[in-house]
Structure 1
Amino acid sequence: MLLEICRLEKTLEGRTVLSIPHLQIGAGEIVALVGPSGCGKTLLLRMLTGQLKPSGGSIILDGRDLSRDRRARTRVALLFAEDLLYERLNPRQFLAFFCTLHALPSRRIDEVLTAVGLGDQVRQPISKLSLSARRRLSFAHLQLLQPALALLDEPVERVDWDTAQLFAHLIQNLAAQGSAVLIGVRDLAWAGKFCTRVIELEAGRISGDYSYAARSGGSESKGGEEGTAAPTRYVPYKVTARREDRIMLYDPAEVLYATSRDGRTILRTVSGEEATTNLTLQELEQRLSGRGFFKAHRAYLVNLQHIKAVIQFTRNSYTLQLDDPQETMIPLSKQSEKELQNLLDY
């Protein structure tokens, strides 16, 4: 087994915030670590890199204790939730600096930049890159390191759909090359399409641990810890709506936007379908919390992954242009534009 955690604990201010009696992860596994903010995902990931010392227990990577063996820690790579980049450099300069810092050969820099889709932006200052391009550059260090254990903290929270799809492909490649991959996410809307196992974390403790066959829809319990109930099968969240004589179940990623019209809530999908849901727009916003949706206007809830442009017509008049074939225009209130500006940092 590549990674083995035994009796791992972290105590802060006299309170146990993380407690994992036993956990094993094998080479080639893609594990989604699922839970809301504050459940301990980021804490665990940082402990696995050696950035935080455990209060008790051990973390063994390929037979070596991560807390004691410095060389073992070089085989672990973490993609932080934040992009830690030097904005005055360009992508090639940044990766060259990264190679120097970690004593890596620089011959693969151009190959890696092409792999993450930045081959045509190698001389563009990082400060001028889009949020998705910056995230791709952050991901590039995983490609350079080729770690035994790859850790990713909310990797697609601020990226476009194409980048999310690219990351899924690159993660599967890492696993195919023998890396164990652990991805911290709030839900399985994205990671559930390709992960092989799900670990649910609640208040710093594992509440579920099971294999997950996303493509076939199957799920097989791996067995919980002693004294805990066996986890139930995970069912990805779906948005239910009626279309003609059918009840449709949409993956949130399929929803382009939702709007309130004539007292009804209408869903518009990426494929151009329209369906009516019994939920109000406010209820739908609550259900989709943490899944990348944004209240652009009192009558519109928009999937952030499908925003192509923000257009300003007058000083106080804004519109969102979506990336569907019709390039749909959605009204954007002044207050929402300020919130979106803070959210996307444009």
Structure 2
Amino acid sequence: MAMIDVTGLTKRYGSTTVVDDLSFTVRAGQVTGFLGPNGAGKTTTMRMIVRLAAPDGGSVTIDGRRYSDLPTPLTEVGTLLDAGAVHGARKAYDHLLALAVSNGLPRRRVDEVLARTGMDSAARKRAGEFSLGMRQRLGIAAALLGDPPVLIFDEPVNGLDPEGIRWVRELMRSLAAEGRGVLVSSHLMSEMAQTADHLVVVGRGKLIADTPMSDFMRAAGGGTVQVRVDDPGALALRLTAAGATVRNGLESSLVVSGVTAGEIGAAAAGLGLVLSELTPQRASLEDAFMELTSDSVEYQGVVA
């Protein structure tokens, strides 16, 4: 079941189109990773889902309804788009209590989300005293307050230490396991690789990929094979002739792509060479993402 359905979404600021005819779905019981380079339109898209920005074209529904038609939005969709969107003088408990009361939620939900986010001990502290990581936890607590079936998180691990990052990963997985639809953006590819079931990748406002994580990684080519052999030059010539791509690796190894480990072994055996290493290297999500979005990066530095 589609929890968020984005159809033909378009947003322009002046002559610049920041989201361009974008369509995708976020389904129940899944973590959907929302990826793209800086300036790709991810945050703008999330803001349009919850009507913080008005689209110039297209539509968004949450469980079949527009956000503006939801009677109590906080109980339908929880969002963390800006961890700093809390008055610095307000205590964490009071901030959550104000949200609960204004949305007709019981006071006990404040204590429950403080406990779930590990904020119990900081409940009576002012938000202005919090680190970025603590503000992220408070924002997540606010998103969970209405116990919504749909959750949207924009860069929720910013400012968190390794323990906090791991906690967010486990939280996202647990929320999806409860049957919720979770949309989360992040620049930490290693975390997305361990967290997301499905990927939506955008660049310059356009959809680049909308696919299960497993299919995305499979399409990335399965990585490379690291090879150590007694005559690397001879093997490199044979593999290149067979259509493989071969480059020099560390400590006289070869890094081979375009053929399987079995084909490399057979080529070495045909030349009478002795292999001391034949190690498949699975492509990382970061490598696959960088290759896919290389033409969509707005600002590119030069490494001397």
Task: Establish whether residue 160 from structure 1 lines up as the match of residue 198 from structure 2.
Answer: no
Q: What is the aligned partner in structure 1 of residue 194 from structure 2?
A: 193
How far apart are residue 191 of structure 1 and its match?
A: 2.2
Q: Which has the higher helix share?
A: 2
2:22–2:207 Cα contact (<8 Å) kept: no
Q: 2:220 aligns with which of 218, 221, 233?
A: 233
Task: Find the aligned partners of 1:234 and 1:76 in 2 and give their Cα distance.
Answer: 37
Q: What is the aligned partner in structure 2 of residue 171 from structure 1?
A: 172
Residue deviations 1:193-218 (CA, integer Å, cap 9, x gap): 11101111100011112211xxxxxx
1:10–1:17 Cα contact (<8 Å) kept: yes
Cα distance change, pair 91–21 in 1 and its aligned pair in 2 (3 A) = closer
1:37–1:186 Cα contact (<8 Å) kept: no
Task: Establish whether residue 63 from structure 1 lines up as the match of residue 64 from structure 2.
Answer: yes
1:146–1:174 Cα contact (<8 Å) kept: no
Query: Counterparts of 1:169-318 in structure 2 under 5 Å?
Result: 169-212=170-213, 219-220=214-215, 232-233=219-220
Residue deviations 1:136-168 (CA, integer Å, cap 9, x gap): 111101221222321111111211111111111
Q: What is the aligned partner in structure 2 of residue 298 from structure 1?
A: none
Task: Establish whether residue 98 from structure 1 lines up as the match of residue 99 from structure 2.
Answer: yes
Q: What is the aligned partner in structure 2 of residue 267 from structure 1?
A: none
How far apart are residue 105 of structure 1 and its match?
A: 1.3
How far apart are residue 44 of structure 1 and its match?
A: 0.4
Q: What TM-score, normalized to structure 2?
A: 0.67
Task: Find the aligned partners of 2:40 and 2:90 in 1 and give their Cα distance.
Answer: 35
Q: Secondary structure at the match of 2:120?
A: coil
2:12–2:56 Cα contact (<8 Å) kept: yes
How far apart are residue 118 of structure 1 and its match?
A: 1.6
Task: Find the aligned partners of 1:51 and 1:120 in 2 and give their Cα distance.
Answer: 32
Residue deviations 1:20-53 (CA, integer Å, cap 9, x gap): 3532221111011111111000000000111111
1:65–1:72 Cα contact (<8 Å) kept: no
Task: Establish whether residue 5 from structure 1 lines up as the match of residue 13 from structure 2.
Answer: no
Q: Secondary structure at the match of 2:171?
A: helix
Q: Secondary structure at the match of 1:39?
A: coil
2:72–2:103 Cα contact (<8 Å) kept: no
Q: Which runs of 5 or more residues in structure 2 are unaligned?
A: 224-248, 255-304
How far apart are residue 90 of structure 1 and its match?
A: 2.1
Where relative contact order (Cα < 8 A, 6+ residues apart) is larger, the structure is 2
1:3–1:59 Cα contact (<8 Å) kept: yes
Amino acid in structure 2 at the alignment position of 1:155: P
* Structure 1 residue ranges (4+ consecutive) displaced by more than 6 angstroms after TM superposition: 242-247
Task: Find the aligned partners of 2:20 and 2:109 in 1 and give their Cα distance.
Answer: 39
Task: Find the aligned partners of 1:95 and 1:234 in 2 and give their Cα distance.
Answer: 47
1:49–1:77 Cα contact (<8 Å) kept: no
How far apart are residue 234 of structure 1 and its match?
A: 8.3
2:114–2:141 Cα contact (<8 Å) kept: yes
Cα distance change, pair 187–118 in 1 and its aligned pair in 2 (3 A) = closer
Task: Find the aligned partners of 1:125 and 1:64 in 2 and give their Cα distance.
Answer: 36
Q: What is the aligned partner in structure 2 of residue 112 from structure 1?
A: 113
How far apart are residue 103 of structure 1 and its match?
A: 2.2
Amino acid in structure 2 at the alignment position of 1:174: L
Q: CA RMSD in A?
A: 2.8
How far apart are residue 246 of structure 1 and its match?
A: 9.7
Task: Establish whether residue 27 from structure 1 lines up as the match of residue 14 from structure 2.
Answer: no
Q: Secondary structure at the match of 1:33?
A: strand
Rg larger for? 2
Amino acid in structure 2 at the alignment position of 1:30: V
2:172–2:195 Cα contact (<8 Å) kept: no
1:154–1:184 Cα contact (<8 Å) kept: yes
Task: Find the aligned partners of 2:221 and 2:101 in 1 and give their Cα distance.
Answer: 43
Q: Secondary structure at the match of 2:107?
A: coil
Q: Which has the higher strand share?
A: 1
Q: What TM-score, normalized to structure 1?
A: 0.59
Task: Find the aligned partners of 2:205 and 2:221 in 1 and give their Cα distance.
Answer: 20
How far apart are residue 189 of structure 1 and its match?
A: 2.2
Q: Secondary structure at the match of 1:113?
A: helix
